[in-house]
Chains A and B, each alone.
Chain A
Amino acid sequence: METMALAILAVTAVFVLFRYRQRKQSEEFPPDLKSAPESTGLKSSAPLRISTLPTGTTTVAVSHVHKSFNGTHAVNDVSFEVRSGEILGIVGPNGAGKTTAIRMLMDIIGADSGQITILGASAGQDTRDTIGYLPEERGLYRKIAVAESLRYMAQLKGLLPEEAGKVRDQWLDRLGMSPHKGKKIEQLSKGMSQIIQLAATVIHDPELIILDEPFSGLDPVNREMLKTIILELKECGRTIILSTHQMNEVEALCDRVLMINKGSVVLHGELHEIRSRFRNNSVFLEYNGSIDNLPGVAEVKDHGSYVELFLNQDTSANQILSRLVERGVTIDRFEVSTPSLNEIFIKVAREES
């Protein structure tokens, strides 16, 4: 009888101890709601655990990959490569197949056919710990404190508990989120929880980082912070795949672009090469004087405060600039027209349809 009573007491004691431990852990990070600043910001002075990797080797190789759902081709014969230290922007409209392609890279869904090689390992081999993934549909445990949540995520990526705690604190400090680490995720703003998600993505110092729509839900300050971090990771030799439909962010960050529409690759190459390929040989000009009958100009389009000069095929912008100077035209602005990625995308999408 006594044994039974002791057993109950022992089990109850285990529970009480467990509760005490949980409480003690949360007390280590007391939620200081009054003093904690609501905004976040990058603290450049804080040390960051990013090792430097060699660049130029192939990190991701995708070859003729297909995936269909119920007879619909979500991804159709997609091939591309990403080299280490490079940022690849995957762009395309909603439903183009970007997320499906990324989920196949992560081996979350399997490809119907084709070959995917990541860091030298083919599909089926576990490369999860070397990849940091921020999915488009993302969240964290709402009832769990930031610190605990991040440590769990880090441990799932193969970090030991002590190491996980140390790196977590470094990242929180770096992101200006240290005052919030005792708070539950549900107590944070949407932007803040996005920052925590970013920390969870890179906490294990991955070689390959895949970010699906990383800018959605971020205010301009946090958007700039994210850009800085992405560029910093690139500097350290990390390979980054960035999926977004915000073309301006791609233009600002990416080395190469993969444009997908209706599951197929419609454009792939280096960003500057693509832009020069789609250049329409025109210049924007704000001036004072006469530009009538200027040799080499096929058409002049008036935009109000400035004009756009469409040049003949054999005329360069330099030649036009010389002719304007020779004529004695006062030039306030002379800009070679380069199409934005957005314009290129619209043009390609129209041609495709």
Chain B
Amino acid sequence: MKKTMIIARHEFSQVVRRKGFYILTLGLPFIAFLGLFINDIVQDLDKEPDTPDHQNIGYVDDMGVFTGYTQQANLTFIPYPDQDLAQQDLMAGEINEYFVIPESYLQTGLVDRYTTERELEVPLKTWYQIRDFLLNNLLASEVNDDLLNRAKNPVQLNSWHLDETGAVSEPPDELQAILVPYFFGLLFIMSIFMTSGYLMHSVTEEKENRIMEILLSSVSVNQLLRGKIIGLGIAGLIQIVIWLVTIRVFLEVGSVDISVLEDIQFPPSMLLFGVIYFLLGYGLFSVLYAGLGAMSTSPRESQQMVGIFVMPAVVPLVLMSVIGENPEGGIAQALSFIPITAPTTVMMRLANINIPPWELALSITLLASSIALGLWLVARMFRAYLLMYGKRPTLREIVRTLR
């Protein structure tokens, strides 16, 4: 244990004396908040076209019934007798766009819209404006204003969640459901990757610089691996704690006005399980990365191979909407039991729900078991490949070693 701690202290000191560590640890929160500020500013700028100058939308009414209600806020609907004239005015810039209501409109509901703007889909605002124009003309003479307004907006759906006791709990809002899990998943996986990356870098550097054999003449493979995992894990944990504390501070400091973050709540269980899953997740990835480091001939080569583990690990982030909208669903559950996806998935789920204890227990057990198995396998790989210089083992050799 004494030698393990000597290695841990050495590894910790090596990482925290790097300038990159400081830049990342202290700089990332600022960069993230800067990004959010910019996002706010961009959104504000984006809102400006909401109150543009007066707009003119032309229309050709082949049915001959859409004659009234041509004025809306900052908008005038201008009738045209035929499409040629409407197009002429559109090209001349007299109108912003025009649409054609065919004779068969009542049967089909089809309306053809013509615009010079490049757009992926019809802007929602335009859709509402045209809808209101059509509804007003069709129904105004038939029904009263209340009915007309209700027809325009028939439902405001409130969905309530009942827990096991039948008690009503707060409906999760969209922000809480999607953004918080995504944010935490991202932060989590970033920390784990970076901390494990330190370990891989350390192993490959020692291998490349031919220090490994000298070290192994002083300590066992397990002492070496444990020391590295502890030392670099502490560095990573400090990093994530600084990030989380910085977020709290920014949220609580009144002068920071970031609309996106205002409503975020951190469930208390997240902190406890955050630490547990960070340690377990880091344990698993550091073991996997150490194995990669043992096989690689240089830090660059090991970086290229990292993708093997990064791809499956980011699956929960790719399935963000599925996990966020249905955190108790089968996919979310399954990903919580697969060791490589469990840390991120569980953190994403915990942001919204209380995961049943049996699920957490099973997930943690599977994760811890995979670390133990990984340690055993990596110790074998260390013995086989750490002293192999300038040559990468073939897949066949790796399989033979692991058997």
Where the two chains meet, the residues of A that have a C-beta atom closer than 8 Å to any C-beta of B are 1, 4-5, 7-8, 11-12, 15, 18-19, 22, 70, 103, 106, 108-110, 126, 128-129, 131, 133, 135, 137-142, 144, 152-153, 155-158, 197, 200
- A15–B214 CB distance below 8 A: no
Expressed in whole angstroms, the Cα–Cα distance for A137 and B297 within the complex equals 14
Q: Which residues of A contact B248 (CB under 8 A)?
A: 4
Residue from B10, B214, B245 whose CB has the most chain A CB atoms within 10 Å: B214
Residue from B213, B217, B249 whose CB has the most chain A CB atoms within 10 Å: B217
B211 within 8 Å of A (CB atoms): yes
A sample of 4 more A-B contacts (CB under 8 A), given A11-B238, A153-B214, A156-B218, is A1-B249, A4-B248, A138-B214, A140-B211
Residue from B216, B242, B253 whose CB has the most chain A CB atoms within 10 Å: B216
CB within 8 Å for A157 and B218 given contacts A1-B252, A138-B210: yes
B269 within 8 Å of A (CB atoms): no
Expressed in whole angstroms, the Cα–Cα distance for A296 and B245 within the complex equals 97
- B383–A137 CB distance below 8 A: no
26 contacts between A and B (CB under 8 A): A1-B252, A4-B248, A4-B249, A8-B242, A8-B249, A11-B242, A15-B16, A18-B13, A18-B17, A19-B16, A106-B216, A128-B217, A133-B213, A137-B213, A137-B389, A138-B213, A138-B214, A139-B211, A140-B211, A140-B214, A142-B209, A144-B14, A152-B6, A156-B215, A157-B218, A197-B214
Residue of B nearest to A126 (CB): B220
Nearest-Cβ distance from residue B297 to partner chain A, whole angstroms: 13
- B218–A137 CB distance below 8 A: no
Expressed in whole angstroms, the Cα–Cα distance for A15 and B13 within the complex equals 10
Nearest-Cβ distance from residue A2 to partner chain B, whole angstroms: 10
Nearest-Cβ distance from residue B386 to partner chain A, whole angstroms: 9
B3 in complex: contacting residue of A5, A7, A138, A156, CB < 8 Å: A156
B22 within 8 Å of A (CB atoms): yes
Query: What's the A-B contact tally at a CB cutoff of 8 Å?
Result: 88
- B387–A103 CB distance below 8 A: yes
CB within 8 Å for A5 and B249 given contacts A106-B217, A135-B213, A142-B209: yes
- B252–A141 CB distance below 8 A: no
Q: Which residues of A contact B151 (CB under 8 A)?
A: none
- A135–B209 CB distance below 8 A: no
Residue from B17, B219, B241, B387 whose CB has the most chain A CB atoms within 10 Å: B17
CB within 8 Å for A109 and B213 given contacts A4-B248, A11-B242: no
- A156–B6 CB distance below 8 A: yes
| B residues 371-386 touching A (CB-CB < 8 Å) | 383
Expressed in whole angstroms, the Cα–Cα distance for A152 and B5 within the complex equals 12
Q: Which residues of B contact A135 (CB under 8 A)?
A: 210, 213-214, 217
Residue from A8, A19, A140 whose CB has the most chain B CB atoms within 10 Å: A8
Nearest-Cβ distance from residue A49 to partner chain B, whole angstroms: 18
B246 within 8 Å of A (CB atoms): yes
Expressed in whole angstroms, the Cα–Cα distance for A261 and B363 within the complex equals 54
Q: Which residues of A contact B210 (CB under 8 A)?
A: 135, 137-139
- B252–A156 CB distance below 8 A: no
Nearest-Cβ distance from residue B226 to partner chain A, whole angstroms: 14
Expressed in whole angstroms, the Cα–Cα distance for A19 and B389 within the complex equals 34
Nearest-Cβ distance from residue B219 to partner chain A, whole angstroms: 6
Residue of B nearest to A19 (CB): B17
B101 within 8 Å of A (CB atoms): no
Q: Which residues of A contact B209 (CB under 8 A)?
A: 139-142
Nearest-Cβ distance from residue B22 to partner chain A, whole angstroms: 7
| B residues 224-256 touching A (CB-CB < 8 Å) | 238, 241-242, 245-246, 248-249, 252-253
CB within 8 Å for A133 and B214 given contacts A1-B252, A22-B17, A142-B209: yes
Interface of B (DSSP majority class):
helix
Expressed in whole angstroms, the Cα–Cα distance for A19 and B25 within the complex equals 15
Expressed in whole angstroms, the Cα–Cα distance for A140 and B10 within the complex equals 14
Expressed in whole angstroms, the Cα–Cα distance for A152 and B6 within the complex equals 8
B28 within 8 Å of A (CB atoms): no
Nearest-Cβ distance from residue A262 to partner chain B, whole angstroms: 21
- B26–A4 CB distance below 8 A: no
CB-CB nearest 3 A-B residue pairs: A139-B210, A133-B217, A156-B218
- B217–A4 CB distance below 8 A: no
Nearest-Cβ distance from residue A18 to partner chain B, whole angstroms: 6
Q: Which residues of B contact A103 (CB under 8 A)?
A: 213, 387
Expressed in whole angstroms, the Cα–Cα distance for A267 and B397 within the complex equals 34
Residue of B nearest to A139 (CB): B210
Q: Which residues of A contact B219 (CB under 8 A)?
A: 128, 156
Residue of A nearest to B249 (CB): A4
- B245–A22 CB distance below 8 A: no
- B13–A22 CB distance below 8 A: yes
Expressed in whole angstroms, the Cα–Cα distance for A108 and B253 within the complex equals 56
Q: Which residues of B contact A12 (CB under 8 A)?
A: 26
Nearest-Cβ distance from residue B228 to partner chain A, whole angstroms: 13
B252 in complex: contacting residue of A4, A7, A70, CB < 8 Å: A4
CB within 8 Å for A108 and B216 given contacts A5-B249, A7-B245, A141-B211: yes
CB within 8 Å for A128 and B214 given contacts A1-B253, A5-B249, A11-B241: no
- B214–A109 CB distance below 8 A: no
Residue of B nearest to A197 (CB): B214
Q: Which residues of B contact A153 (CB under 8 A)?
A: 214, 218
| B residues 1-25 touching A (CB-CB < 8 Å) | 3, 6-7, 10, 13-14, 16-17, 22
Nearest-Cβ distance from residue B387 to partner chain A, whole angstroms: 7
Q: Which residues of B contact A22 (CB under 8 A)?
A: 13, 17
- A156–B7 CB distance below 8 A: yes
Q: Which residues of B contact A108 (CB under 8 A)?
A: 213, 216-217, 383, 387
Expressed in whole angstroms, the Cα–Cα distance for A5 and B16 within the complex equals 21
CB within 8 Å for A128 and B249 given contacts A12-B26, A138-B213: no
Expressed in whole angstroms, the Cα–Cα distance for A126 and B217 within the complex equals 10
Q: Which residues of B contact A70 (CB under 8 A)?
A: 397, 400
Q: Which residues of B contact A1 (CB under 8 A)?
A: 249, 252-253
| B residues 358-403 touching A (CB-CB < 8 Å) | 383, 387, 389, 397, 400
- B213–A11 CB distance below 8 A: no
Residue from A15, A70, A140 whose CB has the most chain B CB atoms within 10 Å: A15
